[in-house]
C-alpha cells in the first residue's frame, strides 16, 4: 500500500532593496494614475459614479464650461452634435472629480 506524505514548507525569497512587492490591483491603480491621455464619458461615469445625464448637466453650466472647455485651454472637449463624443484629459478630470464635482453636483459653487 502506498503512503502519501503532504509537506508544507516556507521558503524565504530575497527581494532586492530597489524593488517592492505589491498586489496586482494596486499596481493597476498606480498605472492608471500615471496615465496622462484623453478618455471618454465612460471613464468619467465610472470614476464619478454618476450617470451621463447628470454629468452632462453639471458640465454644461455656462460658467463652468467657459473655464474647462478645450476651446478656452481647459480639459473638456464638448461634443458638437449627434455622433460626436465627449473627451476628457484624464488627470485634470480626476482632479475635478476629487475637488469640485460633488460640490457642483449638490448645487454649490466654487
Per domain, the residue ranges of the chain are 43-105
SS3 42: helix
Q: How far is CA 22 from CA 3, 6, 19, 29, in A?
A: 39, 30, 10, 11
Calpha distance 108→20 (Å, rounded): 43
DSSP code of 69?
B
Q: How confident is the model at residue 76 (pLDDT cuts 50, 70, 90)?
A: very high
Mean pLDDT, to the nearest integer, of 91-101?
Answer: 91
Mean pLDDT, to the nearest integer, of 29-56?
Answer: 89
pLDDT for 86 equals 97
SS3 19: coil
**Mean pLDDT of the residues in the chain:** 89
CB atoms within 10 A of CB 24: 7
Calpha distance 34→29 (Å, rounded): 9
The verdict on pTM exceeding 0.75 is: no
DSSP code of 97?
I
Amino acid at each position: 500500500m502506498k503512503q502519501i506524505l503532504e509537506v508544507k514548507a516556507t521558503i524565504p525569497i530575497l527581494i532586492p532593496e530597489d524593488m517592492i512587492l505589491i498586489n496586482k490591483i494596486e499596481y493597476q491603480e498606480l498605472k492608471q494614475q500615471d496615465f496622462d491621455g484623453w478618455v471618454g464619458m465612460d471613464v468619467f461615469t465610472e470614476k464619478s459614479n454618476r450617470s451621463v445625464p447628470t454629468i452632462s448637466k453639471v458640465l454644461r453650466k455656462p460658467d463652468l464650461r467657459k473655464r474647462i472647455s478645450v476651446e478656452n485651454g481647459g480639459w473638456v472637449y464638448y461634443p458638437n452634435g449627434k455622433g460626436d463624443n465627449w473627451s476628457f484629459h484624464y488627470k485634470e478630470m480626476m482632479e475635478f472629480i476629487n475637488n469640485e464635482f460633488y460640490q457642483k453636483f449638490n448645487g454649490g459653487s466654487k
